[in-house]
């Protein structure tokens, strides 16, 4: 059984057919060629597949394509504005990226967090990123990177309003 | 395997889709449980499943106070529940419990009804809802009726071959009380393995407290304990530890297997922490 679907993906309209059991993650990777969201556990445990659904971070492996209609999806490929670039640079400069498999999910989740809470403390960062597994960094640098990104974004916003 | 998908736009449509598809029909709300590895992805390919999506039914969403009842729509997400001002003010124990579920990403999708529908006796929202004496409004082709959450858990969402849909969760608006909720999981950010809720309310007699406890995961069903105790037994650390041990002994008894023994040793720790949280609430 197939179903017709209309979405907005990274700011562009997308229209097509999906299999009824196809997850949003498979739809992004296999049908749209957006391989930024990674297929790790495929069960909502690792966070590598996180995307923004109408601005909120979600596990794309736990959402069916047919479940969506007219929704807005943002993957790591869609985070190409200046503020998103600052988040990515903070991850790199703090050393929160090593093998990089978990990074797209973490960066998308960071964008979702900082959009809601521009100055999160360490506990709030941990709460927001608890669903992301990383075998390389040990998480401390990830928390530092999010707070560094928040600091740099704050400076940029203050500069814009001055 | 998933062979069909129905997007219901009203309760009547969802109930009729359940009736039509019988055991093939699965309710899809957030999907964070049934789409996990243990759910449909591992379900036998020879067994067809028709998903009945209830997320777009407006009636099943939102939180409101109605004639002395706090009414929660089952399609309300856990994130919406946690951030809701009415819940934070009237039933903060639900916030404490919902915050423990999965990750931020899971809470953005998972729903209140889905947490109850898992039928696990340790499910995070189930334990405080039992403690709050919540009722579920359910609907099947015969109409709507109310059941205590505890009763719903025992009966399940099927009666005489008729499938039922939860249409609302109704809680008598709680009196000002101090709450504590703690849980233990064996998985990373996983499901609760053992959970405990404690509420403390001033007793009718001076210097006493009404203590209500609900334990989840220790047996097939959540188990409750209610007593009026002198305040010394709550505020004094060693006296409260013996109160906790007495409750656990009364409810769980002695362990008869290794698995029971693990839970038996863990239960006083979880309950003790929940009691401590509630005591902090009284002091605040």
pLDDT tens-digit series, residues B228-282: 999 888 898 899 999 999 999 988 887 777 777 888 899 999 999 999 999 999 8
DSSP per-residue string spanning A81-111:
SHHHHHHHHHHHHHT--SS-SSHHHHHHHHH
pLDDT tens-digit series, residues B140-166: 888 999 999 888 887 777 766 678 899
Burial class (CB in 10 A: 0-12, 13-18, 19+), A105: buried
Residue bearing the bigger pLDDT, B119 or A89: A89
A115: left (phi > 0), else alpha (psi -120 to 50), else beta?
Answer: alpha
**pLDDT class of B200 with cuts at 50, 70, 90:** very high
Interval B172-178 mean pLDDT: 85
Is the per-residue pLDDT at B118 higher than 80? no
A33: left (phi > 0), else alpha (psi -120 to 50), else beta?
Answer: left
CB contact under 8 A, A59 and B31: no
Percent of the residues in chain B that have a pLDDT greater than 70, as a whole number: 93
Average pLDDT of every residue of chain B: 89
Of A23, A58, A66, the CB nearest to B105: A58
A40, B188 Cβ separation under 8 angstroms: no
Average pLDDT of every residue of chain A: 95
Q: In sequence order, which residues have a C-beta less than 8 Å from that of residue B105 and are 6 or more positions away?
A: A44, A47, A50, A57, A58, A59, A109, A131
- Distances, alpha carbon B173 to alpha carbons A6, A58, B84, B109, B274, in Å: 42, 32, 15, 26, 22
**pLDDT class of A92 with cuts at 50, 70, 90:** very high
Is the per-residue pLDDT at B139 higher than 80? yes
Cα(B123)–Cα(B130) distance, rounded to whole angstroms? 11
CB contact under 8 A, A53 and B108: yes
Is the per-residue pLDDT at B187 higher than 80? no
Residue in chain A closest to B33 (alpha carbons) equals A62
- Distances, alpha carbon B252 to alpha carbons B197, B234, B255, in Å: 16, 21, 8
A43, B89 Cβ separation under 8 angstroms: no
CB contact under 8 A, B108 and A130: no
Q: In what order do the strands lie in the sheet with B135-140?
A: B63-66, B69-72, B165-172, B135-140, B143-148
Q: Which residues of A touch B31 (CB under 8 A)?
A: 62-64, 67
HSE, CB side, 13 Å, CA atoms: give it for residue B226: 7
Percent of the residues in chain B that have a pLDDT greater than 90, as a whole number: 58
pLDDT tens-digit series, residues A151-161: 999 999 888 87
**Of B226, B273, B275, B269, residue with least CA distance to B251:** B226
Please report the pLDDT score of residue A93 as a whole number.
96
Please report the pLDDT score of residue B42 as a whole number.
57
Cα(B110)–Cα(B30) distance, rounded to whole angstroms? 4
Q: Which residues of A touch B40 (CB under 8 A)?
A: 21
Q: Which residues of B touch A45 (CB under 8 A)?
A: 187-189
Interval B177-186 mean pLDDT: 89
| Chain B residues within 8 Å of chain A (Cβ atoms) | 1-5, 28, 31-32, 35-37, 40-41, 51, 53, 55, 79, 102-106, 108-109, 187-189
Span of A16-30, A83-97, B245-259 with lowest mean pLDDT: B245-259
B195, B182 Cβ separation under 8 angstroms: yes
Which DSSP helix (H) or strand (E) runs through A73? strand A72-74
Residue bearing the bigger pLDDT, B112 or B33: B112
Cα(B246)–Cα(B251) distance, rounded to whole angstroms? 9
Interval B70-80 mean pLDDT: 97
Which DSSP helix (H) or strand (E) runs through B167? strand B165-172
B29, B76 Cβ separation under 8 angstroms: no
pLDDT tens-digit series, residues A135-144: 998 899 999 9
Interval A73-102 mean pLDDT: 96
Interval B66-72 mean pLDDT: 94
> So what's the ipTM on this one?
0.95
B102: left (phi > 0), else alpha (psi -120 to 50), else beta?
Answer: left
Please report the pLDDT score of residue B44 as a whole number.
60
Q: What is the pTM of this model?
A: 0.91
Span of A73-77, B35-39, B75-79, B120-124 with lowest mean pLDDT: B35-39
C-alpha B264 chain-centroid distance: 21
């Amino acid at each position: 059984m197939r179903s017709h679907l209309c979405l907005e993906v990274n700011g562009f309209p997308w229209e097509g057919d999906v299999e009824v059991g196809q997850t949003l993650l498979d739809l992004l990777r296999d049908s749209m060629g957006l391989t930024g969201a990674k297929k790790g556990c495929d069960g909502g445990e690792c966070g590598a597949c996180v995307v923004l659904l109408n601005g909120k971070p979600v596990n794309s492996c736990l959402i069916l394509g047919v479940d969506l209609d007219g929704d807005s999806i943002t993957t790591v490929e869609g985070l190409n504005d200046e503020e998103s670039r600052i988040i990515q640079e903070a991850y790199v400069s703090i050393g929160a990226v090593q093998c990089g498999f978990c990074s797209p999910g973490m960066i998308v989740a960071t964008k979702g967090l900082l959009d809601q809470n521009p100055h999160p403390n360490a506990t709030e960062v941990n709460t927001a990123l608890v669903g992301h597994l990383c075998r390389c960094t040990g998480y401390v640098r990830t928390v530092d990177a999010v707070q560094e990104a928040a600091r740099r974004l704050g400076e940029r916003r203050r500069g814009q309003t001055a | 395997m998933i062979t069909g998908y129905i997007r219901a736009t009203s309760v009547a449509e969802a109930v009729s889709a359940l009736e039509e598809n019988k055991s093939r029909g699965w309710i899809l709300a957030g999907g964070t449980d049934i789409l996990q590895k243990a759910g449909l992805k591992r379900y036998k390919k020879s067994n067809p499943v028709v998903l009945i999506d209830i997320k777009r039914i407006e009636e099943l969403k939102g939180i409101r106070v109605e004639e002395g009842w706090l009414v929660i729509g089952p399609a309300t997400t856990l994130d919406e529940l946690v951030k809701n001002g009415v819940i934070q003010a009237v039933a903060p124990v639900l916030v404490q419990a919902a915050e423990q579920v999965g990750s931020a990403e899971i809470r953005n999708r998972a729903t209140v009804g889905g947490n109850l529908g898992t039928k696990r006796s340790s499910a995070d929202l189930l334990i405080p809802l039992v403690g709050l004496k919540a009722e579920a409004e359910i609907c099947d082709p015969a109409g709507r009726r109310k059941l205590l959450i505890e009763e719903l858990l025992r009966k399940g969402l099927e009666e005489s071959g008729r499938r039922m849909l939860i249409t609302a969760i109704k809680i008598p608006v709680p009196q000002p009380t101090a709450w504590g909720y703690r849980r233990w999981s064996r998985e990373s950010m996983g499901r609760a393995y053992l959970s405990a809720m404690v509420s403390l309310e001033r007793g009718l007699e001076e210097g006493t407290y009404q203590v209500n406890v609900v334990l989840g995961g220790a047996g097939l069903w959540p188990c409750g304990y209610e007593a009026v105790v002198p305040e010394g037994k709550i505020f004094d650390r060693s006296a409260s530890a013996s109160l906790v041990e007495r409750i656990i002994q009364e409810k769980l008894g002695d362990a008869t297997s290794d698995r029971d023994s693990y839970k038996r040793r863990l239960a006083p720790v979880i309950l003790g922490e929940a009691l401590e949280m509630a005591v902090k609430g009284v002091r605040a």
